[in-house]
Chain A
Amino acid sequence: MSGHGPKLALPKFLSFLRNRPTKENGLVSWLTTVDHKRIGILYLYTSFFFLFVGGIEALFVRTQLSANDLEIFVGSTYNQLVTMHATTMIFLAIMPLAAAFFNFMIPLQIGARDVAFPRLNAFSYFMYLAGGIVLNASWFMGGASDVGWFAYAPLTSSTYSPTHGVDFWILGLILTGISSTVAAINFIVTIINMRAPGMTLMKMPVFSWMAFVTAFLLAFALPVITIALIILFMDRNYGTTFFQTAAGGDPILWQHLFWVFGHPEVYIIVLPAFGIVSEIIPVFSKKPLFGYKLVVLSGAAIGFMGFTVWSHHMFTVGMGPIVNSAFSITTAAIAIPTGVKIFNWILTLWNGKIKFSVPMMYATALVFLFMVGGFSGLMHGAAASDFQQHDTYFVVAHFHYTILGGGLFGFLAGTVYWLPKFFGKIMDEERGRKIFWWIFASFNLTFFPMHFLGTGGMPRRIYTYSADMEWTALNGFITLASFVLGITLLVFFIEVIKAVKSKNKASADPWDARTLEWSIPSPPPVYNFADLPKVEKVDEFWESKISNKPIKTLPRDPHGIHMPGKSWMPLITSVGLMLASFGAIYQSDLRYIGLGIFLLAYYGWALEGDAEYYLPYPKKGKK
């Protein structure tokens, strides 16, 4: 460390704020880190953990449904499992998994040293963790929320849900919402402002583009759910009557507010996965992405149109034929940009030198599986048809095909593809292939039969059924397959950890890839790029490889490599808000203590400043 940057003005009694943590190893270094790569790794491990938790909940649900008239998890316990499975998977597993890749990859792909606001980035992670803790603490503090993940009013009112489960759910989601909003704004600013010189928006890697669109979706959709949650919290705890029909309120308002957020949420999950696939398919086909501009623009179109389709979740509430038709049309229309993407991927494969490495297998599987989910989506996108399918297992099959087949498969592809960049280690190819086939087969065996159950009339969220419904055989089969899926996913993550611990050192560019993140060592040094690149073309790194010219770089800064200082404040602010949430749930004085901690740390944050410092450059020519 050398050459400290300008310091902020502080009076004497606050000068202790200048003592910033400097530890490079150990627990403290992880708690105070502002390095986007470390935060990405924290996101990755934490979301793996919550994926495991949500998976266990799913297997409990499947156990209860494995045969008719079982009484293992009944009533509220079953409802809690269903609710927390969905909530955990969506908010604590899949979304943060996308955030892990955003964090790690966006600065590398756009040629930056870090995100625009490194401390805020750490704050996002800790808020996510705080939200996860609050949501799951409910299991041990009087039971979790049992109203389903979309928590329809008036079931959520204090009359019908008198325990604190729903309050935990509300506060947990508000915390993760703050985390995602802040992260989204951070990524938007990073992408707009931190790109390497010459990298115009239309020369940016597709994954960064999809992250950009996703960030806008998050920034505009999350405030709506936050308001809905605040209103619900006031209804439950302060006697307002927003969703109480007896006092003139309207429970449908909740549905509208929820789905105005809830449908963009679907694209928040799936667009990052689309971005990953758009990176992987060209690399393993040895061809540029077919129709780069169309893929980007269709992604942006999905982003816009994602806000116009929310009421297709509510066809059966009685909005009338005109509203239903309008939302049927917008829903059908959003299939067009999605189809454009799929055709572009297929045309990228066309005539390519295709190599089916493990990431490519997951990526092509996504194309197929998402199409299955997309087609069933079109079926209940038509309002008339939806009246038959609403709230049945057909819908359950549909959204598992889109969220797992579309989202999770993309993130598994990304995990294998970017593992060399994350940890400098590569996964065993042979075992990876075997695991892929197990996951692919058991996934389809689990969720495809649900289409039949749904058309056979089995409603979602029921905890049992009688033998004469003739659902027993299929349900037993699904449960069996779901256990195989659960175990193979676990094996996948064990394999990831084994690879990380192994000695299979990866080279800087093991896949012969196209984008800037592969032009630096694996794992990247703390400053990412010693010399910041200058970009002239899409796939600049690929172009430099085939033309055998090194990427042009910017002149070096005489001060050294500019780095952001570590900080305790993101952690303390998050702890403050978490305590305040617990206090708010129990209406205790803890909320004032929590808010006090938050405010103090907040002012500390503002006054301590960036504390930028400079690292010496590595010697030229040495990678």
Chain B
Amino acid sequence: MEALKLQPVITAFSVFGVFVCIVLTYYALVNLFKSFPRIRSKKDKEAIMDEDADAHHHVETYTGEPNIKLFWWVFLASDCMFFGSLITAYLIYKGQSLVGPYPLDVFDMELTTISTFILLLSSFFMVLTLSSIQKGDLGKFRFWCFSTFLCGLTFLGFQVYEFEHFIHEGLRLKTNLFGSTFYLLTGTHGVHVAIGVLWLLGMFIYSFWGGITKERAIEVEIAGLYWHFVDVVWIVIFSVIYLMELPIGG
């Protein structure tokens, strides 16, 4: 497959993404300091809990946690084994490639560090997304939800650019074991991010149909769980694949 000529577009898009992220971070920080929860009296808390109880007509669960939240916790635990197997395969084959290019020939640490930063930043935005819908502020929810979505999309843009670049350098899926394990592991993570991005976009659109409300904040919460998990996994992958290549002691 001939490398697509997407490079300029992606570069432009990425720069734009970084810019957007910086602006959003500023807003996020301002918002965070504004909205620190005031200390509530016990009476206030009880009133809030009653309100919650009225809002939920659902069948009570044994633990009090919603089923869907437990589902995602268990699913993510299962997903850990999924990534665990891939990381195992990567580590077993680390340094076993018979032909180049080898990791340090192709890696651009600065670029990947920026994209990592953007993905981690999106986790912060996700927290704000959830917090705003829990307060019932639909406008802010849309804003942060879309920001998280943009960050995710930017990360994917960086990944596509990176893959393009690697292929240009001669590292393909079947070139060597490094190529196979690298593309499979980061690709699987990329698919997870892509699913998350679709999910966020879905929620964003759904909020205009009236589907996202304060009472259904749990829907946003589970999306957040998933999104944070995908970020945490990326920290592991980034450490295993990129940071471990850095020469020790500078």
Question: Measuring CB to CB, which residues of chain A are less than 8 angstroms from any residue of chain B?
Answer: 5-6, 8-11, 116-117, 181, 184-186, 188-189, 192-195, 197, 199, 219-224, 226-228, 230-231, 234, 238-242, 247-250, 253, 257, 260, 562, 603, 606
Contacts and interface: CB of A to CB of B under 8 A. Distances in A.
A253 B209 CA distance: 49
B81 A224 contact: yes
A231 B209 contact: no
Nearest to B205: A11
Give the interface size class of chain B: 35 or more
B77 A220 contact: yes
A193 B75 contact: no
9 contacts: A5-B57, A10-B209, A219-B77, A224-B85, A239-B173, A241-B180, A247-B177, A250-B96, A260-B85
A194 B92 contact: no
Contacts of B180: 234, 240-242
Q: Is the interface of A mostly helix, strand, loop or mixed?
A: helix
B78 A185 contact: yes
A427 to B, nearest CB: 35
Interface string B43-80: 00000000000000101011101010011001101110
B64 to A, nearest CB: 9
Given A234-B173, A240-B173, 17 more contacts: A6-B57, A10-B209, A11-B209, A193-B67, A194-B62, A194-B67, A197-B62, A219-B78, A222-B78, A234-B184, A247-B176, A249-B93, A249-B177, A250-B92, A257-B89, A562-B59, A606-B202
A199 B62 CA distance: 9
A209 to B, nearest CB: 15
Given A223-B79, A223-B82, A192 B63 contact: yes
A11 B206 CA distance: 9
Interface string B156-174: 0000000000000000011
B184 A193 contact: no
B211 interface: yes
A227 B85 contact: yes
Interface in B188-243: 202, 206, 209-211
A16 to B, nearest CB: 15
B30 interface: no
Contacts of B39: none
B74 A248 contact: no
A240 B78 contact: no
A195 B93 contact: no
DSSP majority for the B interface? helix
A326 B63 CA distance: 40
Nearest to A599: B198
Contacts of B81: 219-221, 223-224
List the 3 closest pairs (A to B, CB-CB), nearest first: A239-B174, A9-B210, A227-B85
A188 B74 contact: yes
A227 B82 contact: yes
A8 B176 contact: no
Contacts of B57: 5-6
Interface string B5-48: 00000000000000000000000000000000000000000000
B78 A227 contact: no
Give the one of B59, B62, B77, B180 with max A CB within 10 A.
B62
Nearest to B59: A562
Contacts of A9: 206, 209-211
B138 interface: no
A6 B58 CA distance: 10
A194 B176 contact: no
A5 B75 CA distance: 28
B78 A220 contact: yes
A189 B70 contact: yes
Contacts of B176: 241, 247-248
A184 B63 CA distance: 19
A234 B179 CA distance: 13
A580 B177 CA distance: 28
B113 interface: no
Given A231-B89, A253-B89, A192 B70 contact: yes
A250 to B, nearest CB: 7
Contacts of B244: none
